[in-house]
Chains A and B, each alone.
Chain A
Amino acid sequence: MYQFMESLLVEEIKIEPFSFEIERGKIKEFVMAIGDPNPIYYDVKTARKMGYRDIPVPPTFPTAIEMWGGLDFETLIDLLDLDPLKVLHGGQEYRYIGELYAGDTVTAFPKLISAFEKRNLRFFTIGITYKNSNGELVLYSESTIIERGGSIK
């Protein structure tokens, strides 16, 4: 078990930026898995009629950008030295600043914001700013990851 020193950890852990090209097919696969039938995610003509430039990204699609773009579960486990069987997602926040559509390429800049321990639980917060190919800020995502302590069989 590693020594948990939050300030050190937050200082030391650097997460590399990564880029992701958003594709219509990936968006469709994502909403089908959720069971979201909103036609703006399936048909570009409908999306355009509703005032969108192309197929827009669903509100929680950034999770697919993260997982497929470079910050997947295994990477996170290694990076934060977590026990994979004890990891839970505690909370998630998105701030939608600009518009994001299929065809766009985004670059994500992740950062470990905080790490602390409370009542045998370890909390990690990762913030990610997303920029489009013009360098404009389009999205902010913040995830809280919890590692359960104690003895798990």
Chain B
Amino acid sequence: MTELKALKKPEITHTQLVRYAGASGDFNPIHTVVPVGEKAGLGGVIAHGMLIMGMAGEALGTWFPRKDLRMFKVRFSKMTRPGEKLAIEGKVTKEIVEEGEKRLAGEVFVKNEKGELKLSGKFQVKI
């Protein structure tokens, strides 16, 4: 098992959520409009899960060439709010053969500064 170098991201801002909404096309107002987030019982806006997965994808790109990525799968476990600082950790767990190709299989985790898990995922890259 090989630990990969953790990627530390700057604090998530409200502006970043607005920007990600525009870039991704996900205009669900619970991510951008505070009164809607409050009405939804969330106490304010929450980050798009896909933004957090995007950050995990950024980390994958620092660990492996983009073109070698074959599979990337995540579960979102906890909501993220503006003001939180996230770090992406990863490890390679084993060598596998899938679809006749030798691959590395690994795991990726996104946590905040308190160590709360936001996302856990798995990936496969071609060797």
Contact = CB atoms under 8 A, between A and B. Distances in A.
B36 interface: yes
B28 A87 contact: yes
Nearest to A142: B73
Given A63-B26, A93-B73, A94-B72, A58 B61 contact: yes
Contact-residue size bin, chain A (C-beta under 8 Å from the other chain): 35 or more
A1 interface: no
A138 B16 CA distance: 30
Contact of A38 (B25, B53, B58, B71): B58
Contacts, number: 128
B74 A58 contact: no
A146 to B, nearest CB: 9
A35 B70 contact: no
Interface residues of B, number: 41
A87 B79 CA distance: 13
Interface of B: 9-10, 16, 19-20, 22-30, 36, 39-41, 48-51, 53-55, 57-58, 60-62, 65-67, 69-76
A86 B40 CA distance: 7
A19 to B, nearest CB: 15
Nearest to B46: A88
Contacts of A5: none
A84 B50 CA distance: 17
B23 to A, nearest CB: 4
Given A59-B57, A60-B50, A63-B26, A33 B76 contact: no
A59 B61 contact: yes
Interface in A75-120: 84-96, 99
